[in-house]
């Protein structure tokens, strides 16, 4: 049944519908693939018994004519999503063996539509990272390797487990989250498709919080159409999340394949940064040419406050994190290190439970929110954020979408940037603006670098206009004809 793991999600749904195979058969094939790929460390918890039991129930529903839109397809779930009765840790020691008594809205929607969960996927601790090296379960290893090399590469972060699992054919799709690029950058590093929808399109209820005004759930999948199918199920208004938008969810897959003729595409001049590798520049030019060939008009636009986006993000996000993570104190759940008194218990629990990157961001956030620095840092960052959003508003008066690179490089080796936090943060240079403005962004695999590693192009759209991104993403996907996949070494 090895061939079942090579199917796209759309092809799997078609095969299940015409009874070419059962959900139990395709789930079992993926369970075996997960077991055989433990060297990648993509899953931090496998749930094979639950998956096969769910698959059998799915086959029974299909036999009764009650199949849902995702009936019987095996997926992976990032360990940031609370799953009822299944350990959820955000890949941090401080949550210990926390088992939620409730289900996140996004996973509830997926299971309602018939998806089968294979297990929980590795990630940077509390979603803080760009390389999946801050996980308390150890780093995920990218299934891709440089041509002729055997160095372990990062799959990107924080959704590294999700991206690696999809790229290695361990699941048909995966949930992920994006606070500053954590869906799009891993997708670019692994040759997969990832979309961060508009802020509020997917409910944050039941997702462990990092930065509440930036976090957004989305899918990582093998094709643009697969991502569209998953997002249609994931999205929807949720009254339990005050930031959830009360809007209808369109059938996103219906936009894939639509003509993009006549659309105006903006190329922001500020994204041509110093030191950008020639291969990234060349791929960007190739993407522009592909969209022109598809009938789009390409124009240069200006986003003048882009240069302030990264510093503003690394003030706003840590500030929100320091507030959100105050709840982890060893009192109600998770790790508890007993001290001589209450304050010492707090200190020892948090010192042992949080990883170095999480501590760094909590300290940054606490500093910028402190009485003497609130106006100088946090308030100023909020003003910059507003200007960044206005830049996009003005650009979208002239264009329908923007085209940029997704990341400033291909996947780098594990450990390369570990000692330099600023070098690591620069991985988010093309992605953080989208989160600060609350806009949808998609990464589409578009080519390989000289070492044979995948590179991605990013599309940025107007708020709630994911449909246009799916149409443009489909056009890029068709033109690029990207069929690369990692050679199996694990």
DSSP 375: I
Instruction: Report which secondary-structure segment, H or E, holds 74.
Output: strand 74-78
Give catalytic status of residue 359 as yes or no.
no
Selecting among 130, 131, 159, 182, the annotated active-site residue is 182
Sign, Cα dihedral of 53, 54, 60, 62: negative
Residue 296, H or E segment: none
Residue 182 is among the residues annotated as catalytic for this protein: yes
CA angle 91, 94, 99 (to 5 degrees): 70
Q: In angstroms, rounded to a whole number, what is the distance separating the alpha carbons of residues 215 and 126?
A: 11
Question: Bridge-partner residues for 221, per DSSP?
Answer: 173, 193
Q: Of the residues 10, 22, 58, 78, which is catalytic?
A: 78
Report the phi/psi class of residue 227: left, alpha or beta, with left for phi > 0 and alpha for psi in -120 to 50.
alpha
Tell me the CA end-to-end span of the chain in Å, nearest whole number.
19
Query: Which residues lie below 8 Å from residue 132, measured CB to CB, with a gap of 6+?
Result: 122, 123, 124, 139, 140, 154, 155, 156, 157, 158, 160, 161, 186
Three-state SS for 436?
Answer: helix
Q: Which of 22, 131, 158, 322 is catalytic?
A: 158
What one-character DSSP code corresponds to residue 441? E
What does the alpha-carbon distance between residue 261 and residue 138 come to, in Å, rounded to a whole number? 46
C-alpha span between 205 and 222 (Å, rounded):
26
Per-residue exposure over 227-262, b if at least 16 CB sit within 10 Å of its own CB, e if not: bbbbbbbbbbebeebeebbeeebbebbebbeeebee
Residue spans of beta strands (DSSP E) within 97-205? 116-121, 173-178, 193-196
Radius of gyration of the chain (CA): 21
Pairing of strands 264-268, 401-405: parallel
φ, ψ of residue 457 in degrees (nearest 5): -110, 145
- DSSP β-ladder status, 173-178 and 193-196: unpaired
Nearest one of 310, 255, 298 to 401, comparing CA atoms: 298
Tokens of 162: 């999700």
322 is catalytic: no
Hunting for tokens 């992976």 — which residue is that? Answer: 76
Identify the three-state secondary structure at position 473: helix
DSSP 446: E
Any idea which residues carry the catalytic annotation? 78, 158, 182
């Amino acid at each position: 049944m090895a061939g079942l793991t090579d199917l796209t999600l759309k092809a799997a749904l078609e095969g299940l519908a015409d009874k070419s195979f059962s959900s139990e058969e395709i789930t079992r094939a993926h369970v075996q693939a997960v077991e055989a790929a433990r060297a990648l460390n993509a899953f931090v918890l496998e749930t094979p018994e639950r998956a096969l039991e769910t698959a059998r129930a799915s086959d029974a529903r299909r036999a009764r004519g009650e199949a849902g839109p995702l009936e019987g397809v095996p997926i992976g779930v990032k360990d940031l999503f609370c799953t009822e009765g299944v350990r959820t840790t955000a890949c941090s020691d401080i949550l210990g063996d926390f088992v939620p008594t409730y289900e996140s809205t996004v996973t509830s929607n997926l299971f309602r539509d018939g998806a089968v969960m294979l297990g929980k996927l590795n990630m940077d601790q509390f979603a803080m990272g760009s390389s999946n090296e801050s996980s308390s379960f150890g780093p995920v290893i990218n299934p891709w390797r440089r041509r002729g090399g055997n160095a372990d590469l990062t799959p990107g972060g924080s959704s590294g487990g999700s991206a690696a699992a999809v790229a290695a054919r361990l699941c048909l799709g995966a949930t992920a989250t994006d606070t500053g690029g954590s869906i799009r950058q891993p997708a670019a590093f692994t040759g997969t498709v990832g979309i961060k929808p508009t802020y509020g399109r997917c409910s944050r209820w039941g997702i462990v919080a990092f930065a509440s005004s930036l976090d957004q759930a989305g899918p990582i999948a093998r094709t643009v159409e697969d991502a569209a199918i998953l997002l249609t199920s994931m999205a929807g208004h949720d009254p339990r999340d005050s930031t959830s938008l009360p809007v209808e969810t369109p059938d996103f897959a219906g936009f894939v394949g639509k003509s993009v003729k006549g659309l105006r595409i903006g190329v922001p001049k500020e994204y041509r940064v110093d030191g950008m590798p020639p291969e990234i520049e060349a791929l960007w030019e190739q993407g522009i040419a592909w969209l022109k060939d598809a009938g789009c008009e390409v124009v240069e636009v200006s986003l003048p406050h882009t240069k302030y986006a990264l510093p503003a993000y690394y003030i706003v996000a840590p500030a929100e994190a320091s507030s959100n993570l105050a709840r982890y104190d060893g009192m109600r759940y998770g790790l508890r290190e007993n001290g001589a008194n209450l304050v010492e218990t707090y200190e020892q629990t948090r010192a042992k439970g949080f990883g170095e990157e999480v501590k760094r961001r909590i300290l940054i956030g606490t500093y910028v929110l402190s009485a003497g620095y609130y106006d100088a840092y946090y308030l100023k960052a909020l003003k910059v954020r507003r200007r960044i959003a206005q830049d996009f508003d003005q650009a979208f008066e002239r264009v329908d979408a923007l085209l940029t690179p997704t990341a400033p490089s291909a996947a780098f080796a594990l450990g390369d940037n570990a000692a330099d936090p600023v070098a690591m943060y620069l991985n988010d240079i093309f992605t953080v603006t989208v989160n600060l403005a609350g806009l949808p962004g998609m990464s589409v695999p578009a080519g390989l670098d000289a070492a044979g590693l995948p590179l991605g192009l990013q599309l940025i759209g107007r708020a709630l206009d994911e449909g246009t991104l799916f149409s443009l993403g489909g056009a890029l996907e068709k033109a690029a004809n990207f069929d690369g996949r990692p050679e199996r070494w694990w």
